[in-house]
Amino acid sequence: MNSATSAFVTHRDLLFTIAHEMLGSAADAEDVLQETWLWWASVDLGAVCDQRACLVRITTRQALGRLRTFGRHRESVGPWLPEPLLTTPDVAEEVELADSVSMAILLVLETLTPTERAVFVLCEVFDLGYDETAEAVGESPAAVRRIAHPARAHVAARRPRGVVSPAGTRGALDTFRRAVEAGDLQGLLDTLAPDVVFLGDGGEAEEAVLRPVVGADKVARLLAAGSGGAAAGTSPRPAEVNGHPALVLRLDGALDTVVAVRIDDGLVTGLYAVRNSEKPSRAERTGMTKRGALGRSPWATASANVSDEYLHRKE
């Protein structure tokens, strides 16, 4: 393995995480990493003082380019939700990281401009300094400072309202899951916050809720009706998605629907259901571990063999 490949492999998972948090899509993050590699393979390493910083800069600029070029094309196919990634328990234990990749926060990041989003991810999630962030986003350190403050305040104002212990979260999720399984309308009402929001993403072909459903009564009736029509053997099962509690539904053994659950003060305040056939299938293949080692992406299966898909194009 040459020095360029070795450096890329070393920082690959960090780069995937940055791209995923900026784009909210594992597929787009994978594309960004492929583009990053193609740039990186042509770099004169002898002129690079800090390989990690250089790779972060290339990745960030590639992700920014995608955000600015694609715009909100996702809206043309109805509601769009970030891609759910099945996670390991150690992600949830890193509270700051789990919060930053939660479906709720990723949706908040969607409301920032591309540059605001990049600055927030690099400064707040990965603790990069203003100088390094400025290099990555193509702004001055002074501009990054001006961008970082309102972006931080914007996200902070929309963070979860109350802290729930892991045991409390599991208990609330289990109570909610049993109510969904039973189609228990009153049980659902007891677990849902009055202002709970249900969002669905079915992509272009899948049946899904086309508009946000707001309010405990409406959401409870939607869930109760859905459970009544569910096929045998499709009971939801608990999981962790993006470091937070979730329910997964399988049909004929294949992952069909992922529902990320936001719990505040012991009540369900947000439900994010993804039925887009591509997203749940990728959720099985793309997971998260810990900070700096997130996202074992489908094309990057092993450190010693990371080049099979495209590294050899430049070697």
Closest by CA to 251, choosing from 286, 280, 283, is 280
DSSP E strands in 67-187: the ranges are: 86-87
Percent of the chain with pLDDT over 90: 34
Torsion of CA 50, 54, 57, 63, to 10 degrees: -140
Q: Mean pLDDT, to the nearest integer, of 250-270?
A: 85
Torsion of CA 22, 99, 193, 190, to 10 degrees: 130
Structure confidence at residue 108 (pLDDT): 84
pLDDT digits (tens, 9 = 90+) for 193-239: 999 999 888 655 455 566 889 999 999 999 988 765 455 556 788 88
Cβ 227 vs Cβ 235: under 8 Å: no
3-state helix, strand, coil in the chain (%, to 5): 55, 15, 30
Structure confidence at residue 131 (pLDDT): 95
11-15, 17-21, 89-93: lowest mean pLDDT where? 89-93
Which pTM was predicted? 0.69
DSSP E strands in the chain: the ranges are: 86-87, 192-201, 213-214, 237-241, 244-251, 254-264, 267-274, 287-288
Cβ 86 vs Cβ 244: under 8 Å: no
| Amino acid, res. 71 | G
How many CB atoms within 10 Å of residue 48?
15
Structure confidence at residue 14 (pLDDT): 87
Is the predicted pLDDT of residue 54 greater than 50, yes or no? yes
pLDDT digits (tens, 9 = 90+) for 288-298: 444 443 333 32
Is the predicted pLDDT of residue 75 greater than 60, yes or no? no
Q: Mean pLDDT, to the nearest integer, of 100-129?
A: 85
76-80, 146-150, 174-178, 249-253: lowest mean pLDDT where? 76-80
Is the predicted pLDDT of residue 136 greater than 70, yes or no? yes
